[in-house]
Amino acid sequence: MGFDQNDNFSVPPGQPEPEPVYVQQAPPKKRTGWKVFWAIVIILSVLANIIFFMALIGMVAVFATTQDGIFTEDIIVAGPAATKIAVINLQDLIDDETAEDIYKQIKRASEDENVKGLIIRVNSPGGTVAASDRINQEILKYKDETEKPVVAFMQDIATSGGYYASVAADKIVAEPTIITGSIGVIFGHFVIRELLEEKLGIEPVIIKSGEKKDWPSPFSETTDAQRRYIERKLITPAYERFVRIVADQRAELSADDVRQLADGSIYNADEALENKMIDQIGYLDDAIETAKELAGVEKARVVEYKEPFSFASFLRSGQSSRLKIDKTTLYEFTKPQLLYLWTID
């Protein structure tokens, strides 16, 4: 088979074939300049986004922290914005933090001219004597300064300090399943002497200026003399104030009526209504209608105050969730507690 002379080179007869010559071609030049440029652009872009994100987080943190205690309004019932009924929630154990929260919400309502009345929605077994009293007085102050009505709406449980706060309202509406009452005072403290001495080998040493200085003490048994002293100094005054508050703020009840009820007993809705401890059995809609009637309005927007998320509250909750054993914690754990609280032993 021959070769095409036009397409192939042929060696003349008798001549050796030349050795092939290999020419090494230089590799194509890499364009590294653009790659470096784009790499720098991408890195700077990433850094800029990180800085922007951190700045945004900082701005949100500052804003959210400064907004701590500022409340937003959730609409429960639609209505005209110029006529509002504000719902304030009093829930769980009543302590200093609860009283401060209620104070802020009442203050928020008092500064809003469109708010024509309040509903205090109570679902609490009570709490400390001082905090319960502060809430009661804040409600009275709101009524006195604004001349606007307040309705207490009791859900689930409103006993002791929960009832103490409720009687400041103009009217009390309670759900059919309410547990209320428990008018009275309870006092308790821990005695840890045996634990310290027999279990841990620690002997407490107390040096005091007078016999009653440490009554009652967590480091000694409570004597009959100490019990009589506590009853005279703490229990009786707090009890008498509870009776007087209910008698003064529930026009339907005399002091003698309250004393008949104030043996610590709890009451269901029918019993509470029969004993004039409440004004009506109903639900939230009934409480709203009562508030509108007292405010003299036909239509109203019903709003509920909510505290928005803030880093301050988040940090507080994070701190409170950690167990800290320090002198303050130990004091809070061992100090006596005087309570308007319904408890089940």
Q: Mean pLDDT for each consecutive 10-residue tract of the chain (345 residues)?
A: 48 61 55 65 73 65 51 90 96 94 96 96 95 97 97 96 97 97 84 66 73 74 86 93 97 95 95 97 97 96 81 50 49 62 68
CATH number of domain containing 286: 3.90.226.10
Active site residues: 160, 213
- End-to-end Cα, the chain, rounded Å: 115
Question: Are 154 and 166 spatial neighbours (Cβ–Cβ below 8 Å)?
Answer: yes
Say how many domains are in the chain. 2
List the one residue out of 162, 156, 163, 129 whose CA is nearest residue 277. Answer: 163
Indicate yes or no: pTM above 0.85. Answer: no
Residue 82 and residue 87: Cα distance in Å, rounded?
16
Token representation of residue 75: 């609409």
Long-range contacts of 58-61 (CB under 8 A, 24+ apart): 60/311, 61/311
Residue 14 in any domain: the answer is: no
- Among residues 66, 83, 109, which one ends one of the domains? 66
Residue 143 in any domain: the answer is: yes
Percentages helix, strand, coil for the chain (3-state, rounded to 5) are: 45, 20, 40
**DSSP state for residue 14 in the 8-state scheme:** T
Structural domain for 42, as ranges: 36-66
Measured in whole angstroms, how far is the alpha carbon of residue 117 from the centre of its chain?
A: 23
How many angstroms separate the Cα of 16 from the Cα of each of 1, 44, 55?
21, 65, 81
Question: Are 274 and 180 spatial neighbours (Cβ–Cβ below 8 Å)?
Answer: no
Mark whether 233 and 298 lie in a shared domain.
Answer: yes
